A and B are shown apart, each in its own frame.
Chain A
Amino acid sequence: MTRKEMDLLERYSEIAGREVVDHLRQLSSQLKGMRVVHVNSTRQGGGVAELLAKIVPMMNALGIDTSWEVIEGTPSFFECTKGFHNAIQGNTVVLSDEAFQEYLRVNAQNAEKLRDKLRDADFVFIHDPQPAALLENIADRRGKWVWRCHIDCSRPYRPVWKFLRRIVCDYDASIFSTAQFVQPLPHPQYIIAPSIDPLSEKNMELPKDEVEGVRERFGLDPDLPIILQVSRYDRFKDPLGVIAAYRIARKIVPMQLVLAGGGASDDPEGEIVLKEVQKAAEGDPYIHVLVLPPDAHRIINALQRAADIVLQKSIREGFGLTVTEAMWKSKPVIGGDTGGIRLQVIDHYTGFRVRSPEGAALRIRYLLHNQEKRMEMGQRAKRFVRENFLLTRHLREYLALMIAIFHGLEDRIDLTRP
């Protein structure tokens, strides 16, 4: 173990608690010396790359020989897999036979390149659909192969899912983020919730002046409370509903609204929603519609820390990691009563779940009026995330799953027996 790897465990120990890291050591001692390979399709950008950038060094620090491989593809391959992504999330996506053929061809090509590594690994984790077809090209594989689906798979578009299903059927197991996302497959389907990394730029502690600096940077009024929603400009995130809620609440309590989301140049629908939001905000100096670059992690972090209340008024949501991020910063969250928000926002304890702009407005007013309650809920929210949604819990479940898969499907795997 390198000094750097040891330091990494030490840093997580400081945040999550020593007993949590000791527990990881206990579990990993059963897997020492094993070779694990994670495969995805990008080294940078997106939640999966962020997760692997941390989980891989941590597994190595725990004595498991772990590597991270990234497949290479052509523009038409990535166009096809983007179609897969949208189709899994339920959009109607018509893909040509050529697109499917290109997908299989690129996977076969990458399998050739990675053959030795994949064949000899004790465990191979394939993340998302892009590299899923590697498996059918490694017929002499020795280890266990697990397909990790990070996408909301609750209602996939059938024609595309039928194609993918045929490919992922042969895996030894699959992992979905929540029980709602699980699709029928002929192997064990594990449920592992996503997590946030408390040491990442998006979630790390920031100097006070950096947090305060965002007010000046975006022309926010230093004397008004900030209501914030961070999300893509997407109808399912209901940004217009957020504006409606703000307008109702503002009649009584002065405040400012910040909507912060990524650019939408590659997403025609996003572009339309952004325009609608900008139009709805027109003429109101207290609504700030921010379009931020994809790597604006520190800015998002600072905005979340500067906010008094965070909203995630989605009408449909996968897990909702922006909710987790806000809660980690001790903010009560007013969230839509849907998807993974229900797992995180516990009504009246860590925030409020709402089903209408009126409901959101009422809760905004309540929290702005009750500072003590707001602080109390924020503290509870942070504790809840520390105990349940940090990267260390995610890793613990991966390790337990690896042990479980090696020992079969028994309810109880007792490793204390001689």
Chain B
Amino acid sequence: MNNSHGQNTRFHIRDCALVRLSTGLRVQTLREFRDALERVPAASVYHHFWGRFLQPQFDEPEYNNDFAAWAYRGLHEKALAERLSVIDPTEYEDIEGVRLELLERVEDYLYENESVIWAKTDEQFYFVQSQLVVLDTGKCMVHPRELVTNLKEMSLGSIFYHFIDARRRTQQKTDDFSIWLEAFGPKYNGLITVFRSTDPYFSSLKAIREKLVRECEKFFHD
């Protein structure tokens, strides 16, 4: 199907799966953490912010990234956990920007606290990275109205790929759905606004899917 500008507007639904790999790096003190953070692959920083969506996690986490969770549970430094938790990766140009921000905050904390900050041996932090396998589901949408039924049936891998992973893939740094809707002209601006104001960082894939379905139903039924 082509839109009024003659562009092909098929939306190919992709899916993805994630496998976790050890980086071989583990740390026990905050200073070691700082040093390791500087040299771990970017994929590891990304994983500890976003990879948690596709791996075992409880859907109401106390802290939004693994670094903050360790600062609280491993180092027992609540203030540091709060400072790391508030970093929202969607606000940065790329993952290197996130890394710099993390380093900045950890260094500030080290400067403010002269004592050695450490975790017990069995509470070390293990830097992990992941590989993302992207697949074509063979399904596609030609009209925005199809979002309602397709979103309902989408796997969590598809939601991750199109709603979260899209932010590091696309020029606009936003989700694939709203970019697709843009191609149909201003008619769908209301829905685009809702999609773009849905904060993925403080949610779970399931909750994101439910919200998108709800918003689409509302939009198309009104």
Contacts and interface: CB of A to CB of B under 8 A. Distances in A.
A23 B161 CA distance: 13
Given A179-B126, A343-B56, A190 B20 contact: yes
A99 B73 CA distance: 43
Contact of A190 (B21, B57, B154, B156): B21
B17 interface: yes
Nearest to B14: A416
Interface string A387-418: 11100000011011101100101111111100
A30 B17 CA distance: 13
Interface in A304-331: none
A343 B57 CA distance: 8
B175 interface: no
Contact of A413 (B21, B22, B131): B131
A26 to B, nearest CB: 5
Interface residues of B, number: 37
Interface of B: prevailing SS = strand
A189 B134 contact: no
B206 to A, nearest CB: 8
A401 B157 CA distance: 15
Interface stretch (A180-188, A223-231, A357-365, A368-376): A180-188
A140 interface: no
A145 interface: no
A191 B128 contact: yes
A63 B131 CA distance: 24
A49 B154 CA distance: 33
Contacts of A26: 15, 135, 137
A179 B128 CA distance: 7
Contact of A411 (B56, B129, B153, B156): B129
A184 B56 CA distance: 24
Given A23-B15, A182-B22, A189-B22, A400 B133 contact: yes
12 contacts: A179-B126, A188-B21, A190-B19, A190-B20, A191-B22, A389-B56, A404-B131, A407-B133, A411-B43, A412-B134, A413-B134, A415-B134
> Which 4 A-B residue pairings sit nearest by Cβ, starting from the closest?
A179-B126, A388-B56, A400-B17, A182-B22
Interface of B: 12, 14-15, 17-22, 24, 26, 41, 43, 46, 55-58, 60, 122, 124, 126, 128-137, 153-157
Interface of A: 19-20, 22-23, 26-27, 29-30, 176, 179-180, 182, 184, 188-193, 338-339, 343, 346, 349-350, 384, 387-389, 396-397, 399-401, 403-404, 407, 409-416
